[in-house]
Structure 1
Amino acid sequence: MRFIISPAKKMRAMDAPPWPVREPRFLARTAELMRAVQALSRDEAQGLWACSDRLADLNYGRFRDMDLARDTTAAVISYEGIQYTHLAAEVMSEGELDWLDEHLRILSGFYGMLRPLDGVVPYRLEMQARLAVGDSSDLYEFWGDTLYESLAAEGCDTIVNVASVEYARAVTPWARPGGPQVLTCLFGVLRDGRLRQPATEAKAARGTFVRWCAERRVEDVADLRGFHERGYALDEARSDERMLVFARVPVQNCRS
């Protein structure tokens, strides 16, 4: 069983544990993407990133000076965002980190797929970015079936999809008979009988879900059904063999 999650746009370099223990698996292909971004003008890069002037200056400088082998940070603490705050890898025990490193895979437009303790440098390159590289018109085409087949090569039978639609699209369409099957986990809030997925809460739920699995060293898909943090519980009626839906009823403010 392998879990896939999205990265975060915001990143940091840290000289703190957990320490990186290896290079990313697809570093040669990452170097190819790095060179493609470095070949862009500053304005072209900003157009690719669709970001503010401040962020364009920051990330253009990062790519200009980038060294993929120096001053790396473990991927799982390099990303900053709601999901990673709730995952809280920096305070995990050694056993929880061991589980996380074996079971969790972080999808990335730049690195392809990362294990939590792979060493990375800060970058900005979302999976949906239309960066033409070689014969590929965008990053989905660039990575193709590589990420799914990498998971298949690890010998897992189930891919637990906890990623956003943008990133899951780099893996799930390639699922094939005889390979790992995809089980998608959704987290929604029940309002007026309808299940909604507020973006901020969904990110918090995904991070909490992965942390909960790490704390329990989950090895069986059936055990995922017991997730109950943040007021969530499995919605049996909305779930099936390909999707687990966890629903949360918002707490209503009471007036005395």
Structure 2
Amino acid sequence: MLILLSCAKTMAQASPINVPAATVPQFAGKSAEIALQMSQFPVEDLKRLLNVNLKIARQNYQRFQDFHSEDNLPLPAILAYTGIVFKRLKPKDFTEEDFLYAQDHLRLTSFCYGLLRPLDLIKNYRIEGDIRLPEYGSMTLFDYWKPLLTDVFISTIKAQGNLLINLASNEMKQLFDWKKVEREVRIVTPEFQVERNGKLTTIVIYTKMCRGEMTRYLLKNRFSTPENLKNFTFEGFAFRPELSDENNYKFTIRE
């Protein structure tokens, strides 16, 4: 079983957590090229490209200026990202065995680094998938990464039992030839929704919380079959077999 999570937009500069190993991202050379191109954009351009306020644009301008500095120390990806999903994953209480198991069974998408293992060392950045960089012509970063990542991703899934638990956001599918991935391996996508007045609604913050908690549940328990997912519960969210099929598992809560 391989689990896929999205990267987060918020990142830490340091962490007190010790990990048993540190690895180099497979596409480290590509990420260095992307960061170098991003460093050429002035603050106002970054504000527009990243769709952020001036403060965040300035922060990321400095991040890209410092990206290649030896004084800018990287962090393992599982500790570097600090969004809601990663807060719920709670790596601070991972054992050495948990980290090593996650290294084999968890992958993180990244517009800068492509596809990451949890212990891959990365630097702070912020990039969107629809950005078009000067040296890549009319291609978006989605277009750039797709031919590089698809076969690598499929091979990794096959090596881990031919089963992908897709807990990433929908936009991350654009980093891959998703139809090819679907043809080659089995994908199970858990969905988390709130039932209000008889209607099911997706609430982003709940979805992110559940994705982090489910990833933790899978990693801590070392599950290898999707059947185990059906026993997952969190804050009232529970599996709904009547709303699910073999590729889409629905978890709901009633308000």
Q: Is the pair's TM-score, using the shorter chain for normalization, greater than 0.5? A: yes
1:118–1:5 Cα change, 3 Å:
same
Kept in 2, the 8 Å contact 1:18–1:74? The answer is no
Deviations 1:172-203, CA, capped at 9 Å, x for gaps = 62434762232211111111222211111111
Aligned equivalent of 1:171, options 171, 176, 186: 176
Q: How does 1:36-185 map to 2 (within 5 A)?
A: 36-67=37-68, 70-154=72-156, 155-156=159-160, 157-171=162-176, 173-176=178-181, 179-185=184-190
Asked if 1:33 corresponds to 2:29, the answer is no
Distance 2:185 2:138 in 1: 26
Q: Partner letter of residue 192 of structure 2?
A: F
Q: Tell me which residue corresponds to 1:197.
A: 202
Distance 1:95 1:227 in 2: 22
Identity %: 26
Q: Tell me which residue corresponds to 1:211.
A: 216
Superposition deviation, residue 211 in structure 1: 0.6
1:184–1:133 Cα change, 3 Å:
farther
Distance 1:165 1:200 in 2: 15
Q: Tell me which residue corresponds to 1:16.
A: 16
TM-score computed with the length of structure 1 as normaliser:
0.90
Structure 1 stretches of at least 4 aligned residues deviating more than 6 Å after TM superposition: none
**Gapped runs of 5+ residues in structure 1?**
251-256
Deviations 1:74-123, CA, capped at 9 Å, x for gaps = 10111112111111012112222222111111101111111111101100
Kept in 1, the 8 Å contact 2:98–2:219? The answer is yes
SS at match of 1:144: helix
1:230–1:67 Cα change, 3 Å:
same
Q: How does 1:236-255 map to 2 (within 5 A)?
A: 236-250=241-255
Distance 2:236 2:77 in 1: 29
Asked if 1:226 corresponds to 2:220, the answer is no
Deviations 1:157-178, CA, capped at 9 Å, x for gaps = 1221101112233236243476
Distance 1:237 1:109 in 2: 36
Q: Partner letter of residue 9 of structure 2?
A: K
**Structure 1 range deviating more: 194-203 or 163-172:** 163-172
Distance 1:178 1:162 in 2: 19
Kept in 1, the 8 Å contact 2:193–2:207? The answer is yes
- The two structures, once aligned, show a CA RMSD in angstroms of 1.9
TM-score computed with the length of structure 2 as normaliser:
0.90
1:220–1:136 Cα change, 3 Å:
farther
Distance 2:147 2:190 in 1: 22
1:194–1:145 Cα change, 3 Å:
farther
Superposition deviation, residue 136 in structure 1: 4.8
Q: Relative to total residues, which structure has the larger helix share, 1 or 2?
A: 2
Q: Partner letter of residue 225 of structure 1?
A: K
Kept in 2, the 8 Å contact 1:101–1:117? The answer is yes
